[in-house]
Amino acid sequence: MSRAYNFCAGPATLPEQVLLQARDEMLDWRGTGMSVMEMSHRSDEFVEIAETAEQDVRDLAGISDDYAVLFMQGGASSQFATVPLNLLGNSASADYVNTGIWSEKAIAEARRYGDVNVVASSAGCGFTTVPDQTGWKTRADAAYLHYTPNETIGGLEFDFVPDSGKVPLVADMSSSMLSCPVDVSKFGLIYAGAQKNIGPSGLVVVIVRKDLLGKAHVKIPTMMNYQVMADNASMFNTPATYSWYLTGLVFKWLKDQGGVSAIGELNARKAKKLYHFIDTNPLYSNPIDPRFRSRMNVPFILADEALNSAFLKGADERQLLNLKGHRSVGGMRASIYNAMPEAGVDALIFYMAEFAKERG
Protein backbone atom coordinates (compact mmCIF):
# COMPACT_ATOMS: atom_id res chain seq x y z
CA MET A 1 0.00 0.00 0.00
CA SER A 2 1.14 3.53 -0.64
CA ARG A 3 0.74 6.19 2.04
CA ALA A 4 -2.84 6.35 3.28
CA TYR A 5 -4.82 9.31 4.60
CA ASN A 6 -4.80 8.61 8.32
CA PHE A 7 -7.45 10.45 10.35
CA CYS A 8 -6.35 9.01 13.69
CA ALA A 9 -6.76 11.34 16.68
CA GLY A 10 -3.35 10.49 18.08
CA PRO A 11 -0.85 9.11 17.55
CA ALA A 12 -1.59 10.87 14.30
CA THR A 13 -0.34 11.25 10.77
CA LEU A 14 3.02 12.98 10.38
CA PRO A 15 4.32 14.97 7.43
CA GLU A 16 5.72 12.65 4.77
CA GLN A 17 8.73 14.97 4.45
CA VAL A 18 9.56 14.33 8.12
CA LEU A 19 9.31 10.57 7.76
CA LEU A 20 11.43 10.60 4.61
CA GLN A 21 14.18 12.55 6.34
CA ALA A 22 14.03 10.31 9.42
CA ARG A 23 14.27 7.29 7.16
CA ASP A 24 17.25 8.64 5.27
CA GLU A 25 19.07 9.57 8.48
CA MET A 26 18.20 6.37 10.35
CA LEU A 27 21.60 4.67 10.17
CA ASP A 28 23.88 7.67 9.87
CA TRP A 29 23.01 11.17 10.97
CA ARG A 30 24.98 13.59 8.81
CA GLY A 31 28.13 11.56 8.57
CA THR A 32 28.45 10.79 12.27
CA GLY A 33 28.15 7.04 11.67
CA MET A 34 25.30 6.88 14.19
CA SER A 35 21.54 7.10 14.30
CA VAL A 36 20.27 10.00 16.40
CA MET A 37 18.83 7.42 18.80
CA GLU A 38 22.36 6.09 19.41
CA MET A 39 23.88 9.45 20.32
CA SER A 40 24.81 10.57 23.79
CA HIS A 41 22.34 13.23 24.89
CA ARG A 42 25.41 15.17 26.09
CA SER A 43 27.11 15.10 22.69
CA ASP A 44 27.59 18.27 20.69
CA GLU A 45 25.50 16.77 17.91
CA PHE A 46 22.48 15.98 20.03
CA VAL A 47 22.67 19.22 22.01
CA GLU A 48 22.53 21.03 18.68
CA ILE A 49 19.48 19.01 17.64
CA ALA A 50 17.81 19.75 20.98
CA GLU A 51 18.61 23.46 21.03
CA THR A 52 17.55 23.90 17.41
CA ALA A 53 14.20 22.29 18.17
CA GLU A 54 13.68 24.61 21.13
CA GLN A 55 14.59 27.68 19.09
CA ASP A 56 12.30 26.62 16.26
CA VAL A 57 9.29 26.19 18.53
CA ARG A 58 10.09 29.53 20.16
CA ASP A 59 10.11 31.10 16.68
CA LEU A 60 6.94 29.31 15.58
CA ALA A 61 4.87 30.03 18.67
CA GLY A 62 6.42 33.39 19.56
CA ILE A 63 7.71 32.31 22.97
CA SER A 64 9.71 34.97 24.81
CA ASP A 65 12.62 34.49 27.20
CA ASP A 66 10.17 34.92 30.06
CA TYR A 67 9.24 31.29 29.43
CA ALA A 68 11.14 28.02 29.76
CA VAL A 69 10.44 25.39 27.10
CA LEU A 70 10.71 21.84 28.42
CA PHE A 71 10.80 18.55 26.53
CA MET A 72 9.56 16.08 29.13
CA GLN A 73 8.74 12.38 29.02
CA GLY A 74 5.13 11.25 29.22
CA GLY A 75 2.11 13.05 27.83
CA ALA A 76 -0.88 15.10 28.90
CA SER A 77 -1.96 12.38 31.34
CA SER A 78 1.27 12.75 33.28
CA GLN A 79 0.94 16.53 33.23
CA PHE A 80 -2.48 16.22 34.90
CA ALA A 81 -0.53 15.47 38.09
CA THR A 82 2.59 17.43 37.24
CA VAL A 83 0.73 20.73 36.93
CA PRO A 84 -0.86 20.78 40.42
CA LEU A 85 2.29 19.32 42.02
CA ASN A 86 4.27 22.24 40.59
CA LEU A 87 1.84 25.11 40.70
CA LEU A 88 -0.45 24.70 43.71
CA GLY A 89 2.26 26.04 46.01
CA ASN A 90 0.84 27.40 49.25
CA SER A 91 -2.51 27.90 47.65
CA ALA A 92 -4.79 24.97 48.31
CA SER A 93 -7.04 25.45 45.32
CA ALA A 94 -7.13 25.73 41.56
CA ASP A 95 -9.87 26.61 39.09
CA TYR A 96 -10.77 24.27 36.23
CA VAL A 97 -13.17 24.61 33.30
CA ASN A 98 -14.92 21.40 32.29
CA THR A 99 -15.67 21.10 28.59
CA GLY A 100 -15.27 17.38 27.96
CA ILE A 101 -13.55 14.10 28.65
CA TRP A 102 -10.01 15.50 28.75
CA SER A 103 -11.03 18.31 31.08
CA GLU A 104 -12.62 15.71 33.34
CA LYS A 105 -9.46 13.63 33.44
CA ALA A 106 -7.39 16.68 34.32
CA ILE A 107 -9.86 17.60 37.06
CA ALA A 108 -9.94 14.09 38.54
CA GLU A 109 -6.16 13.93 38.84
CA ALA A 110 -5.84 17.47 40.23
CA ARG A 111 -8.44 16.68 42.92
CA ARG A 112 -5.96 14.21 44.38
CA TYR A 113 -3.63 17.10 45.23
CA GLY A 114 -5.83 20.00 46.24
CA ASP A 115 -9.20 21.68 46.19
CA VAL A 116 -10.45 21.91 42.62
CA ASN A 117 -13.10 24.46 41.84
CA VAL A 118 -14.95 23.71 38.61
CA VAL A 119 -15.73 27.25 37.55
CA ALA A 120 -17.89 26.29 34.58
CA SER A 121 -19.06 23.15 32.86
CA SER A 122 -20.93 22.25 29.72
CA ALA A 123 -21.60 18.69 30.93
CA GLY A 124 -25.31 19.50 31.20
CA CYS A 125 -25.63 19.86 27.42
CA GLY A 126 -23.32 16.94 26.57
CA PHE A 127 -20.30 19.18 26.05
CA THR A 128 -21.68 20.63 22.84
CA THR A 129 -20.72 24.19 23.68
CA VAL A 130 -18.31 26.32 25.72
CA PRO A 131 -19.85 28.09 28.72
CA ASP A 132 -19.90 31.86 28.34
CA GLN A 133 -17.12 33.32 30.43
CA THR A 134 -19.38 35.91 32.04
CA GLY A 135 -20.83 33.12 34.19
CA TRP A 136 -17.58 31.51 35.33
CA LYS A 137 -17.16 31.37 39.10
CA THR A 138 -13.42 32.02 39.21
CA ARG A 139 -11.58 32.85 42.43
CA ALA A 140 -8.97 35.56 42.71
CA ASP A 141 -6.87 33.42 45.06
CA ALA A 142 -6.76 30.32 42.83
CA ALA A 143 -3.26 29.02 42.09
CA TYR A 144 -4.19 28.86 38.42
CA LEU A 145 -7.06 28.53 35.97
CA HIS A 146 -6.93 25.37 33.81
CA TYR A 147 -8.80 24.73 30.59
CA THR A 148 -8.64 22.51 27.52
CA PRO A 149 -8.69 24.72 24.40
CA ASN A 150 -9.58 21.76 22.17
CA GLU A 151 -11.39 18.64 23.31
CA THR A 152 -10.04 15.87 21.08
CA ILE A 153 -12.87 13.43 21.72
CA GLY A 154 -15.84 15.77 21.76
CA GLY A 155 -14.59 17.95 18.93
CA LEU A 156 -15.15 21.17 20.87
CA GLU A 157 -12.78 24.11 20.62
CA PHE A 158 -12.56 27.48 22.35
CA ASP A 159 -12.57 30.40 19.93
CA PHE A 160 -11.24 32.74 22.62
CA VAL A 161 -8.54 32.77 25.25
CA PRO A 162 -10.14 33.09 28.69
CA ASP A 163 -9.35 36.19 30.71
CA SER A 164 -7.89 34.90 33.97
CA GLY A 165 -6.90 38.29 35.38
CA LYS A 166 -3.85 37.91 37.59
CA VAL A 167 -4.35 34.17 38.02
CA PRO A 168 -1.97 32.16 35.78
CA LEU A 169 -3.78 30.58 32.86
CA VAL A 170 -2.91 26.92 32.19
CA ALA A 171 -3.89 25.13 28.98
CA ASP A 172 -3.76 21.53 27.77
CA MET A 173 -3.00 22.26 24.12
CA SER A 174 -2.26 18.65 23.20
CA SER A 175 -4.52 18.72 20.17
CA SER A 176 -4.26 22.36 19.14
CA MET A 177 -0.68 23.50 19.77
CA LEU A 178 0.87 25.15 16.71
CA SER A 179 -2.33 24.76 14.69
CA CYS A 180 -2.96 28.50 14.58
CA PRO A 181 -1.47 31.67 16.10
CA VAL A 182 -1.84 31.96 19.89
CA ASP A 183 -0.60 34.76 22.12
CA VAL A 184 1.59 32.78 24.51
CA SER A 185 2.06 35.81 26.76
CA LYS A 186 -1.52 35.35 27.99
CA PHE A 187 -0.59 32.01 29.54
CA GLY A 188 1.23 30.92 32.67
CA LEU A 189 1.73 27.41 31.35
CA ILE A 190 0.96 25.46 28.19
CA TYR A 191 1.49 21.73 27.80
CA ALA A 192 1.01 19.50 24.79
CA GLY A 193 1.45 15.79 24.33
CA ALA A 194 3.40 15.51 21.09
CA GLN A 195 1.39 12.86 19.28
CA LYS A 196 -1.07 15.15 17.49
CA ASN A 197 0.58 18.17 15.93
CA ILE A 198 4.16 17.84 17.13
CA GLY A 199 5.71 14.38 16.83
CA PRO A 200 5.62 10.84 18.19
CA SER A 201 4.00 9.85 21.48
CA GLY A 202 6.04 9.72 24.68
CA LEU A 203 7.09 13.35 24.65
CA VAL A 204 5.28 16.35 26.10
CA VAL A 205 6.26 19.94 25.43
CA VAL A 206 5.80 22.30 28.38
CA ILE A 207 5.99 26.09 28.07
CA VAL A 208 6.12 27.62 31.54
CA ARG A 209 6.52 31.23 32.65
CA LYS A 210 9.70 31.35 34.68
CA ASP A 211 8.17 33.17 37.64
CA LEU A 212 5.97 30.10 38.23
CA LEU A 213 8.99 27.86 38.80
CA GLY A 214 10.22 26.96 42.26
CA LYS A 215 6.85 26.37 43.92
CA ALA A 216 6.80 22.58 43.60
CA HIS A 217 5.41 20.34 46.32
CA VAL A 218 8.16 19.09 48.62
CA LYS A 219 7.34 15.46 47.74
CA ILE A 220 7.16 15.87 43.97
CA PRO A 221 9.08 13.19 42.08
CA THR A 222 12.25 14.94 40.92
CA MET A 223 11.60 14.00 37.31
CA MET A 224 8.31 15.93 37.42
CA ASN A 225 9.80 19.13 38.85
CA TYR A 226 9.68 21.91 36.25
CA GLN A 227 12.41 23.82 38.08
CA VAL A 228 14.78 20.84 37.88
CA MET A 229 13.94 20.29 34.23
CA ALA A 230 14.45 23.99 33.40
CA ASP A 231 17.75 24.14 35.30
CA ASN A 232 19.01 21.13 33.34
CA ALA A 233 17.69 22.04 29.88
CA SER A 234 15.36 18.99 30.12
CA MET A 235 18.40 16.73 30.53
CA PHE A 236 18.38 16.01 34.25
CA ASN A 237 18.08 12.42 33.08
CA THR A 238 18.38 10.93 29.61
CA PRO A 239 15.56 12.54 27.64
CA ALA A 240 13.56 10.85 24.88
CA THR A 241 16.22 11.81 22.34
CA TYR A 242 14.77 10.31 19.19
CA SER A 243 11.31 11.74 19.87
CA TRP A 244 12.91 15.13 20.48
CA TYR A 245 14.72 14.87 17.14
CA LEU A 246 11.52 13.93 15.28
CA THR A 247 9.75 16.83 16.93
CA GLY A 248 12.49 19.10 15.65
CA LEU A 249 11.92 17.80 12.13
CA VAL A 250 8.21 18.60 12.45
CA PHE A 251 9.05 22.14 13.56
CA LYS A 252 11.31 22.60 10.51
CA TRP A 253 8.55 21.27 8.28
CA LEU A 254 6.07 23.70 9.82
CA LYS A 255 8.45 26.58 9.16
CA ASP A 256 8.67 25.40 5.54
CA GLN A 257 4.86 25.57 5.35
CA GLY A 258 4.96 29.22 6.34
CA GLY A 259 4.58 28.82 10.10
CA VAL A 260 1.47 28.85 12.26
CA SER A 261 -0.30 31.68 10.43
CA ALA A 262 -0.18 29.84 7.13
CA ILE A 263 -1.06 26.47 8.63
CA GLY A 264 -3.83 28.13 10.62
CA GLU A 265 -5.43 29.40 7.42
CA LEU A 266 -5.13 25.99 5.82
CA ASN A 267 -6.60 24.31 8.90
CA ALA A 268 -9.55 26.71 8.90
CA ARG A 269 -10.18 25.98 5.22
CA LYS A 270 -9.98 22.21 5.72
CA ALA A 271 -12.39 22.30 8.66
CA LYS A 272 -14.81 24.69 7.00
CA LYS A 273 -15.26 22.55 3.92
CA LEU A 274 -15.72 19.36 5.93
CA TYR A 275 -18.30 20.90 8.27
CA HIS A 276 -20.07 22.51 5.32
CA PHE A 277 -20.40 19.13 3.65
CA ILE A 278 -21.65 17.49 6.87
CA ASP A 279 -24.23 20.26 7.38
CA THR A 280 -25.58 20.04 3.87
CA ASN A 281 -25.77 16.26 3.42
CA PRO A 282 -28.73 14.65 5.19
CA LEU A 283 -26.85 11.43 6.00
CA TYR A 284 -24.33 13.16 8.27
CA SER A 285 -24.52 15.43 11.26
CA ASN A 286 -22.33 17.06 13.90
CA PRO A 287 -23.86 18.05 17.25
CA ILE A 288 -21.48 20.83 18.29
CA ASP A 289 -22.44 24.50 18.58
CA PRO A 290 -21.07 25.84 15.26
CA ARG A 291 -19.17 28.63 16.99
CA PHE A 292 -17.11 26.10 18.97
CA ARG A 293 -16.55 23.35 16.45
CA SER A 294 -13.04 22.00 16.55
CA ARG A 295 -10.79 22.70 13.59
CA MET A 296 -8.73 19.62 14.53
CA ASN A 297 -11.20 16.86 15.37
CA VAL A 298 -14.43 16.58 13.44
CA PRO A 299 -16.87 14.05 14.93
CA PHE A 300 -19.92 13.14 12.89
CA ILE A 301 -22.66 10.56 13.01
CA LEU A 302 -24.57 8.78 10.28
CA ALA A 303 -28.35 9.17 10.33
CA ASP A 304 -28.60 5.38 10.23
CA GLU A 305 -26.18 3.72 12.64
CA ALA A 306 -26.62 0.42 10.85
CA LEU A 307 -24.50 1.89 8.07
CA ASN A 308 -21.45 2.48 10.30
CA SER A 309 -19.67 -0.75 9.46
CA ALA A 310 -20.18 -0.36 5.73
CA PHE A 311 -18.99 3.25 5.92
CA LEU A 312 -15.78 2.27 7.72
CA LYS A 313 -15.16 -0.68 5.43
CA GLY A 314 -15.49 1.44 2.32
CA ALA A 315 -13.25 4.10 3.84
CA ASP A 316 -10.55 1.55 4.60
CA GLU A 317 -10.72 0.29 1.03
CA ARG A 318 -10.05 3.83 -0.15
CA GLN A 319 -7.12 4.26 2.27
CA LEU A 320 -9.10 6.66 4.46
CA LEU A 321 -8.09 5.26 7.83
CA ASN A 322 -9.09 5.49 11.49
CA LEU A 323 -12.40 7.26 11.04
CA LYS A 324 -14.10 5.34 13.82
CA GLY A 325 -15.10 7.62 16.69
CA HIS A 326 -13.66 7.30 20.18
CA ARG A 327 -14.96 4.24 22.03
CA SER A 328 -16.59 6.51 24.63
CA VAL A 329 -18.80 8.37 22.15
CA GLY A 330 -19.16 6.18 19.05
CA GLY A 331 -19.92 7.48 15.58
CA MET A 332 -17.14 8.77 13.37
CA ARG A 333 -14.32 11.25 13.85
CA ALA A 334 -11.93 12.74 11.34
CA SER A 335 -8.84 14.28 12.93
CA ILE A 336 -7.34 16.76 10.52
CA TYR A 337 -4.22 18.06 12.23
CA ASN A 338 -1.51 20.14 10.59
CA ALA A 339 -0.02 17.14 8.80
CA MET A 340 -3.29 16.14 7.10
CA PRO A 341 -3.11 17.59 3.59
CA GLU A 342 -6.12 19.35 2.14
CA ALA A 343 -6.21 16.60 -0.48
CA GLY A 344 -6.95 14.15 2.34
CA VAL A 345 -9.98 16.17 3.42
CA ASP A 346 -11.09 16.42 -0.20
CA ALA A 347 -10.77 12.65 -0.60
CA LEU A 348 -12.81 12.12 2.57
CA ILE A 349 -15.58 14.43 1.40
CA PHE A 350 -15.62 12.77 -2.00
CA TYR A 351 -16.05 9.37 -0.37
CA MET A 352 -18.70 10.60 2.08
CA ALA A 353 -20.71 12.04 -0.82
CA GLU A 354 -20.34 8.86 -2.82
CA PHE A 355 -21.37 6.72 0.16
CA ALA A 356 -24.41 8.92 0.89
CA LYS A 357 -25.53 8.70 -2.72
CA GLU A 358 -25.25 4.91 -2.83
CA ARG A 359 -26.38 4.00 0.68
CA GLY A 360 -27.94 7.05 2.29
DSSP strand pairing (5-6 vs 320-321):
parallel
Min dist CB 208 to its own copies, Å, is: 18
Q: Is 357 noted as a catalytic residue in this protein?
A: no
* Distance, CA of 149 to CA of 130 (rounded, Å): 10
> Does the annotation list 238 as a binding residue?
yes
When the beta carbons of 86 and 99 are compared against its own copies, the nearer one is 86
When the beta carbons of 20 and 125 are compared against its own copies, the nearer one is 20
Min dist CB 284 to its own copies, Å, is: 22
Min dist CB 8 to its own copies, Å, is: 5
Q: Which residues bind its own copies (CB under 8 A)?
A: 1-4, 6, 8-14, 16, 19-20, 22-23, 26-28, 31-35, 37-43, 73-78, 80-82, 85, 109, 112-113, 193, 195, 200-203, 219, 221-224, 236-243, 246, 319, 321-322, 327
Q: Is 253 noted as a catalytic residue in this protein?
A: no
When the beta carbons of 122 and 241 are compared against its own copies, the nearer one is 241
Q: Is 301 helix (H, G, I), strand (E, B) or coil?
A: strand
Give the angle subtended at the CA of 191 by the CAs of 190 and 193, to the nearest 5°.
155
**In the chain, alpha helices (H):** 16-24, 44-61, 76-87, 101-110, 226-231, 241-256, 259-280, 308-317, 342-359
> Does the annotation list 195 as a binding residue?
yes
Residues 6+ apart with CB under 8 A from 174: 10, 75, 76, 102, 150, 152, 191, 192, 193, 196
Catalytically annotated residue among 29, 56, 95, 102: 102
Catalytically annotated residue among 56, 95, 136, 172: 172
Residues 6+ apart with CB under 8 A from 93: 114, 115, 116, 117, 139, 141, 142, 143
> Does the annotation list 102 as a binding residue?
yes
When the beta carbons of 119 and 323 are compared against its own copies, the nearer one is 323
Strand (E) or helix (H) holding 172: strand 169-172
DSSP 8-state class, residue 184: G
Catalytically annotated residue among 56, 95, 136, 196: 196
Q: Is 172 noted as a catalytic residue in this protein?
A: yes
Cβ-contact 107, 76 below 8 angstroms:
no
> Does the annotation list 42 as a binding residue?
yes
List residues forming the annotated binding site for L-glutamate.
Answer: 42
Catalytic residues: 102, 172, 196
List residues forming the annotated binding site for pyridoxal 5'-phosphate.
Answer: 76-77, 102, 152, 172, 195, 237-238
